[in-house]
Amino acid sequence: MTKPKIAVIFYTMTGTNHQVAEEARKAAEAAGAEVRLRRFAETAPKDVIEGQDQWKAQLEKMQDIPEISHDDMVWADGYFFSFPTRYGNAPGQVRAFIDTLGPLWQKGKLADKTATATTSAMNTHGGQESTLLGFYTTLMHWGSVIIPPGYTDDALYAAGGNPYGYSANAGEFDDTGRAAVAHQARRLVQMTARVAEEAVHKAA
């Protein structure tokens, strides 16, 4: 089976989605994938970040993690995205990068790649589902193969049963959540390998 290349890409302010991304990275590597862990660049004004200790500390903690680049997007066979919801949508930091990808998707360089996403909010009904559903429309424009977790493992029911992608309450990423994220990451790897194998057979 083809060894898939997975980019685990996240944005976080306080650390929840960083934890999710690290869990996804570990699970994807254990499932046989080659993984790049990347973060969306921080675009918020420095003075705003400096005024919030937890945000500032988290940003300093992630300085060794490279920011996502166009090269990473082309390199990967599949993407695992993790970011918080902002008013039922992806954060501006995520959209700022996505909006630079026109030169890639217009040339078909993002097509036929797999993708899945997770999110978080301050409370259970803080816009998680709309965030994931809205983000998936972007992937449709790319021609991506969207890999939702659905209801394919008991861990998903234990973690709240969101079929679109795991969602957490901020600051509450526990063992139940880790199990759900690990399953979603493994499922992405498995399906990415299948898509890659099919592409190889067609090219042969």
Pick the CATH number of 5-203 from 3.40.470.10, 3.30.365.10, 2.160.10.10, 3.40.50.360: 3.40.50.360
Q: Give residue limits of the domains in the chain.
A: 5-203
With tokens 């929840």, the residue in question is: 16
Q: Would you state the pLDDT for residue 204?
A: 53
The counts of H helices and E strands in the chain are 9, 6
Q: Rounded to the nearest 5°, which phi and psi values hold at 41?
A: -65, 145
Give the span between the Cα atoms of 190 and 135, in whole angstroms: 22
Q: Would you state the pLDDT for residue 130?
A: 92
CB 164 within 8 A of CB 133: yes
With tokens 């490279």, the residue in question is: 66
Q: 1-5, 30-34, 41-45, 157-161: which has the highest mean pLDDT?
A: 30-34
Q: Would you state the pLDDT for residue 201?
A: 62
CB 110 within 8 A of CB 73: yes
Q: Could you tell me which residue, 122 or 42, shows the higher pLDDT?
A: 42
CB 162 within 8 A of CB 118: no
Give the span between the Cα atoms of 38 and 25, in whole angstroms: 10
Model pTM?
0.94
Output the six-digit token pair for 79: 């993407």
Q: Would you state the pLDDT for residue 198?
A: 73
Please write the tens of the pLDDT for every residue from 50-101: 898 899 999 999 999 999 999 999 999 999 999 999 988 999 999 999 999 9
Please write the tens of the pLDDT for every residue from 141-152: 999 999 999 999
Q: What percent of the chain has pLDDT over 90?
A: 75
Q: What percent of the chain has pLDDT over 70?
A: 97
Give the span between the Cα atoms of 163 and 20, in whole angstroms: 17
